[in-house]
Amino acid sequence: MPTMPQPYPLLFEPFFQDYLWGGRKLGTVLGKPIPPHGVWAESWEVVEHPTHTSRIINGPLAGKTLADVRTTAADWLLGSHCTAAARFPLLLKYLDCQRVLSVQVHPDDDYASRMPQPDQGKTEAWYIIDREPGARIYAGLQPGVSPEDLRAALANGDVERLLHVLHPEPGDAVFIPAGTVHALGAGLLVAEIQQSSNATFRLFDWNRVGPDGQPRPLHIDQALDVIDFHSGPRTVQTPQPTASASRQRLVQCQKFVLDRVIAPGDILAGDDRFHIITVPIGSARLRYSGGELELSRGQSALLPAAMEKTNLELNGAAVLLDMFEPAP
Ligand SMILES: [Zn+2]
């Protein structure tokens, strides 16, 4: 392994996607440097994927990509337990949903590895930062829906009545395991943590057409292959206490843990695991051996696994999300 610098919080250049369902809130609310015109749907904060790989913008590793660091210093970045990872395993995004997204489902690792263009599976979770009154999330099928029911509804274009509807509040988290039918509705500002994957099967697009006037392609056979008809209805997560009074566990699954830190005095890192952190509300300051870092609203950082314990200060009503891999 090459000599690595003293571990420090890595900052990345965000990568924006201009899908039609987006808006301007990535810039106006979260302070992202989106271009001055157009609608912007997603900001990819921390990612290594064939579609895009994050580039470091601070410190001694500035200019290198996440892939560069992983391939040359997996221990330093990922921790001693997962040096064999073929890519950085998690992807953090912000989403500005101004229109309802397509109804979709993601495969698990096994199915995704057998696709013509193999990928990882995609289990994901959402943290609701803000919502318009009445905004909806579709999370799982209604109880008892069969493949035949779903095929008939798809043929009639009236899938919505088969979907479980949630009306989330700011601060809610929703967990969407691979195989769960889902859609984010209009009027939601969301942070999403997921496996680093683009494997998505679109089931229903609300009878809309794309920018070229044509319906976007659907993947109904693949979707029906991977749907778990028992996953759902899904409800919002009940926050669980942790050993730290300032920290609540929102999601724990085989692929990631999502914690919310809402009071100062928390300790991050120092556990031989990487931590992706982001500040959807307010601002935060990290003090670590070798320096300190201020994160403003909407900013994200990656703490390498080699990082020592880091003191966290939050300003006022700030919220910090901490995402990492579960213990091996
Ligand atoms: Zn999804």
Whether the upstream peptide bond of residue 170 has omega within 30° of 0, thus cis, is: no
Q: What is the pLDDT of residues 7-64, one digit of tens each?
A: 999 999 999 999 989 999 999 999 999 999 999 999 999 999 999 999 999 999 999 9
Catalytic residue (choose from 87, 202, 260, 297): 202
169 alpha carbon – ligand 1 mean position (Å): 19
Report the chain's mean pLDDT, rounded to a whole number.
Answer: 94
What are the sequence ranges of the domains in the chain?
15-226, 240-324
- Cα separation, 316 vs 296, in Å, equals 13
The pLDDT value recorded for residue 2 is 67
13 alpha carbon – ligand 1 mean position (Å): 23
For residue 174, the cross-strand partners are 126
Q: How many CB atoms lie within 10 A of CB 84?
A: 7
Across 144-158, average pLDDT: 94
The answer on pLDDT for 275 being more than 90 is yes
The pLDDT value recorded for residue 147 is 95
58 alpha carbon – ligand 1 mean position (Å): 31
Q: Same topology for domains 15-226 and 240-324, yes or no?
A: yes
Buried b (16+ CB within 10 A) or exposed e, 91-123: bbbbbbbbbbbbbbbbbbbebbeeeeeebbbbb
Indicate the residue type of 295. Answer: L
303 alpha carbon – ligand 1 mean position (Å): 26
Instruction: Give the pLDDT band of residue 3 (cuts 50, 70, 90).
Output: confident
The pLDDT value recorded for residue 210 is 79
- Cα separation, 13 vs 300, in Å, equals 10
293 alpha carbon – ligand 1 mean position (Å): 32
Domain 240-324 has CATH 3.90.79.10: no
Helix (H/G/I), strand (E/B), else coil: 41: coil
- Cα separation, 113 vs 117, in Å, equals 8
The contacts of residue 309 (CB under 8 Å, 6+ apart) are 267, 268, 269, 270
37 alpha carbon – ligand 1 mean position (Å): 26
- Which region holds residue 160: left if phi is over 0, alpha if psi is between -120 and 50, else beta? alpha
Phi, psi of 159 (to 5 degrees): -70, -25
The answer on pLDDT for 260 being more than 80 is yes
Which tokens sit at 117?
A: 């263009």
The answer on pLDDT for 263 being more than 90 is no
Across 181-187, average pLDDT: 97
Q: Which pTM does this prediction carry?
A: 0.96
Is 202 an active-site residue? yes
Q: What is the pLDDT of residues 217-258, one digit of tens each?
A: 899 999 999 999 988 799 999 999 999 999 999 999 999 999
- Cα separation, 47 vs 45, in Å, equals 7
The pLDDT value recorded for residue 192 is 98
Q: What percent of the chain has pLDDT over 90?
A: 88
CATH T-level fold of 15-226: Jelly Rolls (2.60.120)
Under 8 Å between Cβ of 41 and 96? yes
The answer on pLDDT for 84 being more than 80 is no
Q: 28, 53, 91: which is closest to 297 by C-alpha?
A: 28
